[in-house]
Chain A
Amino acid sequence: MKYIHIALFALVTFTGCRKFLDVTPNDKVFENELFNSRDGFESALADVYYGITNPNLYGRQLKYGMLDAMAGYWNIPAQQNPYSNVIGLNYQLPVYQTMLSNIWSGLYTAINKTNTILKNIENIKGDQYYDLIKGEATGMRAFAHLELLRLFGPVISQEGAGAKAIPYYAAAGNLPQPLISAGEVISRIDKDLADAELLLKNDTIKTIGRSTNGNGFGTIRYNSLIDRRGIRMNYYAVLGLKARLSMWAGKTDEAYTRANAVITQLETNRDAAIRLVGSSDVSARNKRFSVENLFGLYIYNHRDMLAGYLPDFSATATPTLVPQYTYLMNNLYKNSVHGSVNDYRWINWFGVIGTSQYRFTKFEIDTLPSSSQDQYEVSLLALPEMYFIMAEAKAATDPALAMQLLNKLRFSRNLTTGIPYDPATTTPEVVMNFIIDESRKEYPGEGYVYLMYKRMFRPLVRPTGTIPADLTIYHLPLPVDESIYNNTK
């Protein structure tokens, strides 16, 4: 009996001790405190998106910066330009090493953040938004891995799916993961996307659309999860990513089906409000065609990031990145076969000051955020890509359909005259060339073209000359630190 008392007494004091010792510094927020209510998940999730708005990632380098310098959109002098050493595609240069290593660790940091969220998600099991948060985090994990695969992975059409790609982090932990084959990475991304699709099946984007605020009038406690779904990992973004993934994997039929599903669903559900632009959408204030974004990234300080690089607000000072205006005009936008002076993209995105000061003005922001949020969106995945995927998937087997899809997209760009299909001359290769040219017109400033060439393993066509397709130019090296610190076999 005595011993029981002693034990009880000890137990009480012991728990008292634990409580006494349970103090943490308040100059920071710690994981266990952050993730015990939905608020914490909301702000941690916001950090995942905010993290990738960094200029090292989608704020610059993965958009108009490094990737589009590589694709040759800009007229970069041999000296006195931060991108002078980029156009040479010599990835061993320190400038590349730094940029690539920032991209690599930036995207993996986003993955680590999502994994931390997912590790703690069961703390709010039963919350009304549990599925949404878990779905967004899972989708973002897939998105970031797919981006890494596209950048640092092999050229699958050449090297096969068995080629070593990148590590996949499916859970939080301290141990580095081994590099796995592209095929394995793809199947893991596919699984994450399937999970996300299921979790996001009740996404409010289906009912209130991509840009509406789901918080009703007079809401006291703002819920960021249901506001402007188009800038978050949403249901349609997951569907679109699935199509992008299939295309990257070389499964064209699957890609066609998946891309078609996106378009069909969006056409049948107009409430989602994601559609190709029409004449009413295109104005000086809306050059970014944000209404087409399946997944946009909202960068509130995008103007600061653009400053010096591209015209951010009708600036007249010479920016670092000047477009290859004449080349783009003569060879693409005003191309005698598929171009037109009426092309919305040409009209809205390019400008001349005086006689020869060329400007790429697509990202100019002329108002405060409150009046036109669309101006702050950077596209991570947009509807046109679905058309390109479908067209490319059918280029060989059904060139007529491919041309039809391409023309549909072109029509929305105010290229009202379709490119006629002629079974005799419009060979699959011709179709492919149309697709590539149209993509080059569609994606200046978007970091799309270099990766497109890489996937297709085609020569990198640039105004300064064409570089033959070669693994050396399409293999971005892993950061040196990765090979030093990750020696998992």
Chain B
Amino acid sequence: MQLTVNWRKRHAPTYRSVFMHDWIRLPIKFIMKLSTAVLLIAMLSASVMASSQTVTLSAKNVSLKTVLLAVQKQTGYTYWANKELLQSACCLNVHAENMPLEQFLTLALKGTRIKARIEEGTIVLSQQKTAPSPLSLLIAPDTIPAQVITGVVQLKDGLGAPTPLAGATVSEKGVNGNATATNERGEFRIKVRTGATLIITHVSIEPYAVRLSDNQTSVKAEVNLKESLAGKDVVVTGYFTRKKETFTGASTTITRKELQKFNNNNIFSIIQTLDPAFRVQENNIAGSDPNRLPDINIRGISSVGSNVNLPLIIIDGFQGTLQQLYDMDVNRIESISILKDASATILYGSRAGNGVLVIETRLPKSGKFTVSYDFKGSATLVDLSDYNLMNASQKLEYEKLAGIYQYKDPADPQWTADYTMKLNNLYRDRQLAVQSGVNTYWLKQPVQSTFSTGHSIRAEGGNQEVRYSIDGNYADFKGAMKGSGRTRYGAAFNLIYRIPNKVTFRNNASFQGTKEYNSPYGSFSLYTKMNPYERIYDDNGKLIPRYNDLGQYFTSFAGGVSYNPLYNASLPYKNFNNSSILTNNLSIEWFIGSGFKLNAVGVLSKTFNDGELYISPYNTRFISESSDTRKGLYAVNNGGATQYQANLTLQYGKTLGLHSLNAAVIGEARSSKIDGRSDTLRGFVDDRFVSPSLALGYSSMRPTYTSVPERLLGLASNLHYDYDQKYLADFSYRVDGSSKFGEDNRFGSFWSVGLGYNLHKEKFFHVNGVDMFRVFANLGETGNENFTADMTTTAYLFSPDARYYKKNTTMYVSQGNPSLTWPKIFQKSAGIDAAFWNQRINVRLNVYERTTNRMISAITVAPSLGFADNRFYENLGEVRNRGFELSSTVMVYSNPQKQLYWSLNFAAVKNQSKLVKISDELKKLNESLVAKESNGDIKRISAYYEENQSLSVFRAVRSLGIDPATGRELYLDLNGNRTYTWNAQNQIVAGDKEPRLSGTFGTDLSWKGLSVRLFFYYTLGADIYNTTLVDKVENASPYMNADLRILEQRWKTPGDVAMYKGISDQTATQLTTRFVQKENTLRLASLNVNYDFMKVKLAKYRIQRLRLNFSTNDVFRLSTIRMERGIDYPFARTYNLGLTVEY
């Protein structure tokens, strides 16, 4: 845990000329681990020199600057003073010969009000102190016995030593006009009546009162940051905290306050709503499956492959997994920072390329012992509105039209007659069923509406020295498919011990567990294909297991036998995975003094996983297995991970007049080892007895066992300089070594430079109505280490089957590329933050360009190279992502008297990826990516890589639509000729899946304790290949149920102007532009209603806070195209009801 520190204000400005850039010149590459601290100390002592210089100078009426320049020339001593000071002293007269420097300076400055000191090679000039700052003294009316009170106001924010609060108003209660303001050290002096009460106010705090005792003359007030502001104007980088105002990178911080308002357990959808640059890829296949982790990225994709664009997740300074964050109780989170560009992420060096999510958990609050309890109830309702299937009579009509009840074999009239009779019987049976009212709605069979609950409780308390908190949470979320869900539970204990201004010690132990359980009903798609004229149960109420059965010897005719998925669902089944993680995070912070602070962090975490999958031997998937020894399946897996990390951070902060300097050097070592083992057993005789020990054997010769260690060493440094908080500059550099890279390329270095300008601090920019206007820009290079050891080295396995004569062989399994090296991600980013009219309007604009060089991609090679799977990994290609993010908030109405506020917000994001450079190999990869069916048909779109194209384009053959005369599709070849034949060579780039623009807009209305929030999410102009039209309207098997459009909109007779090909045409429809549609979507991503009860009313029940909350996500979704969503698992809406009580 890093702390909020503002070094400038906390340390008295004693001058010292240790320039941080001296450190940068060190051979940083060679310093690792502990050597950091040692070397720094060595350098410090090296820079101290004795001063015994003399000056010879004779001049009249010269400026101080001239004198100092002369001195510099003679002695080599530079000077440090601010501009006004230099200009204030002119017309000096000096005469000196071989005079010691100090004596000379005293002589030269005689008569001025300037004082000079020599510190380590630098002449430091400062104004001679006379009286206290004029700000800090105001005389109270002299009528009542009065005394002068001196004091200091300090701001507590987070854990660090409190920082001085400048510009706070200190006033005497009840006496109008008796007020003063604190100076930049937080000090004040005020003359007040004896026994008065002081009121301290400031925009960032709640009013704070100090009652003075009769003879008290000094006050030390530590005030808390206003809760609504906590964390708002800081950026947590995970290594340390920076004020947003002086930050030169692009980031978004989400505070607990905001998370609470959402009352939603899906962290990812909250983040996406608040910062649309964070993308959660909509997963059409997985729908609302609670056990499917979302695919996320920040600012678009930059690498080809699955899961290679995942941002780095840092939880309390420690690298976490996507699952860990997914399962984290939102109530535990204090803040989430999304770090997006080079300046913001650079300290993560090799891991930073995809952006960083920094999660900080809550710290114990000091003060009275409090207990808070949070309840969440959520109702989940399945959303099947995207399905538009045929009913029983429509399906039968379609089957007739599709011609599946006709058969003719001219060579064999006898067989034709027999078979036709069978088909006729089948049709008549179905017709009878339809007439008798059978119309099974299969879709609702495997789904359910559920109500789930979650609880979390937290107790905290303590004083200045010791603070603690303990919390626990449990939530069981039931999914829309019957029998599926996810249980999450956790507990944490936090202890903080402080010796103010010396040492802060913090230990955080936490436990987090998850059980995911999956539905025995299998894939939802099974039910969308079932024919509605089939009954589920027979007349006796028993499940019918087989359908479409023409009898023995005919099982493969007329579409073949199909099985009732509900029969399989009725059998014993197990499918769950447990995982739990124990983490202990220890941090010691030592305020060394004179601007130095040392922070040591040690984290240890252990993960445990286990899972089981059992499928009954009577499951229809084993129907063709003849032997009992092969029926049934029991997979058992267990594993875990051990991770540890140690960080040592040395920070230095210094303020020198208006100059302010912050520097940090970080040494880091990280190790993680992931282990796993799994066995698959088979051969179950009786499905009543479900145990691995009752299996007849293994389904493979041996268990799989993995042990994957990864290690990382990093040395990072950061230098931040600002002048008067106006001009900001940041320089960072990091060297990383990773075990994942080939021996020849273990180390990589990364850097960034950032500049910022707070225009609103400039006098000339004091325009009415502009509260804030800051700009920043940065550039830098970070890395991405998403890969595994076997990409760099050729790997071998042993197999019981691989044996030559008496010798077991090492089987060659994959080809390595030892010269594989770090991909480098070069980023340029700039932004504007502005606020107008008392924060009534806030605008943020970020633009960026991110170029991924040496992208790691799997390369398909000529088979003559003889590589396993004909591939290896190579640094190839260059991808450029360009885009912008715009967000604004407008306070439309604000009435503090009535406590009525209404605001609107709007955000837009655009990202465009482009393959700038692509190797021949990657181009060839296109061919291998094409998802060909075994007979050569191409029905699925596949990624397509071509220079100057986006990474998300896809290809198809140009279509002219369905020919009304024949019902066949007419294509256009590359030369513009019409043709009926589909040819892969005629494919063109048909669309880009990336939306042209996406974002959110919403509104926020609050009145006293009540607040209502709506967030809409929109995407514009994405090209979608409508798979429903392909799979469910054209390529659907007539033996299965399909989209209603198959009956209504397919071509039937010559002259029909139809969208879809002939109804009896069973040939495969291949990729054509006919199915490419532009999609615009709008969904009400979240709706929140919060009600906070008034504190006054609660007081008599000794309740500090009571809050009610209602929220729902995805209330509706509008799209310009009609497509089935939620293929394997349906989408669902969740309505949450929350209650928070704090005692």
Contact = CB atoms under 8 A, between A and B. Distances in A.
A116 B872 CA distance: 15
Nearest to A109: B866
A6 B28 CA distance: 11
B864 A13 contact: no
Interface string A1-38: 01000110111011011101111111111111010000
B797 A28 contact: yes
B100 to A, nearest CB: 29
Interface of A: 2, 6-7, 9-11, 13-14, 16-18, 20-32, 34, 40, 42-44, 46-47, 49-51, 53, 94, 101, 104-105, 107-113, 116, 166-167, 169, 173-174, 176-177, 222, 224, 227-228, 231, 298, 300-301, 373, 479, 481-482, 484-487
A28 to B, nearest CB: 4
Contacts of A224: 804-807
Contact of B713 (A17, A50, A94, A109): A17
B668 to A, nearest CB: 12
A167 B862 CA distance: 11
B711 A21 contact: yes
A174 B874 contact: yes
A301 B42 CA distance: 69
Interface stretch (B308-316, B787-795, B827-835, B1117-1125): B787-795
Given A21-B711, A174-B817, A227-B805, A169 B864 contact: yes
B31 interface: yes
Contacts of A16: 32-33
Q: Which DSSP category, helix, strand, loop or mixed, fits chain B's interface?
A: mixed
Q: Which 6 A-B pairs have the closest CB atoms?
A: A112-B866, A10-B30, A486-B862, A108-B866, A224-B807, A105-B863
A10 B27 contact: yes
Contact of A485 (B739, B801, B807, B860): B860
B809 A111 contact: no
B802 interface: yes
B46 to A, nearest CB: 7
A9 B808 contact: no
B861 interface: yes
A47 B809 contact: yes
29 contacts: A2-B46, A18-B737, A20-B711, A23-B711, A23-B739, A24-B793, A28-B796, A28-B813, A30-B794, A31-B793, A31-B794, A43-B809, A43-B810, A44-B796, A46-B808, A47-B812, A101-B863, A104-B863, A105-B864, A109-B812, A109-B867, A112-B865, A113-B812, A113-B866, A224-B807, A227-B806, A482-B862, A485-B860, A485-B863
A487 B920 contact: yes
Interface stretch (B597-605, B609-617, B700-708): B700-708
Contacts of A298: 804-805
Contacts of B30: 7, 10-11, 13-14
Residue with the highest number of chain A CB atoms closer than 10 Å, among B42, B709, B737, B794: B794
Interface in B22-81: 27, 30-35, 38-39, 42, 46
Contact of A32 (B710, B793, B809): B793
Contacts, number: 205
A44 B793 contact: no
Contacts of A43: 807-810
B813 A231 contact: no
A322 B27 CA distance: 77
Given A17-B32, A27-B705, A108-B866, A222 B806 contact: yes
Nearest to A51: B812
A174 B871 CA distance: 10
Contacts of B738: 21
A112 B807 contact: no
A30 B863 contact: no
Contacts of A101: 863
Contacts of A176: 861-862, 864-865
Nearest to B816: A31
B788 to A, nearest CB: 7
Given A25-B708, A43-B808, A31 B864 contact: no
A169 B706 contact: no
B1074 to A, nearest CB: 28
B989 interface: no
Interface in B298-348: none
Nearest to B866: A112
Nearest to B739: A21
Contact of A482 (B713, B788, B810, B863): B863
A240 B927 CA distance: 42
Chain B interface residue number, banded: 35 or more
Contacts of B34: 13
Contacts of A29: 795-798, 810
A25 B804 contact: no
A484 B867 CA distance: 16
B795 A31 contact: yes
A301 B576 CA distance: 39
B805 A300 contact: yes
B811 interface: yes
A481 B927 CA distance: 9
A111 B862 CA distance: 14
Contacts of B936: 94
B1040 interface: no
Contacts of A24: 709, 739, 789, 793
A31 B816 CA distance: 9
A469 B1065 CA distance: 44
Contacts of B805: 46, 224, 227-228, 231, 298, 300, 373
Given A17-B32, A17-B713, A50 B802 contact: yes
Given A30-B794, A227-B806, A300-B803, A109 B706 contact: no
A10 B31 contact: yes
B870 interface: yes
Contacts of A51: 812
A46 B707 contact: no
A9 B38 contact: yes
Contacts of A2: 42, 46
Contact of B924 (A94, A173, A484): A484
A9 B35 contact: yes
B302 to A, nearest CB: 24
B737 A17 contact: yes
B669 interface: yes
Nearest to B801: A301
Contacts of B874: 174
Contact of A486 (B746, B798, B864): B864
Nearest to B43: A6
Given A28-B796, A30-B793, A298-B805, A105 B866 contact: yes
A47 B810 contact: yes
B669 A20 contact: yes
Contacts of B713: 17, 20-21
Contacts of A109: 812, 866-868
Contact of B862 (A110, A222, A485): A485
B810 A25 contact: no
Interface in B571-604: none
B1114 interface: no
A484 B31 contact: no
B921 interface: yes
A469 B808 CA distance: 44
A110 B804 CA distance: 14
A43 B796 CA distance: 10
B706 to A, nearest CB: 4
Given A25-B789, A42-B807, A105 B709 contact: no
A116 to B, nearest CB: 6
Interface string B685-722: 00000000000000000001111111111000000000
Given A24-B793, A50-B804, A174-B874, A34 B810 contact: yes
A44 B810 contact: yes
A412 to B, nearest CB: 27
Given A27-B705, A28-B797, A227-B805, A13 B32 contact: yes
Contacts of A104: 863-864
B863 to A, nearest CB: 4
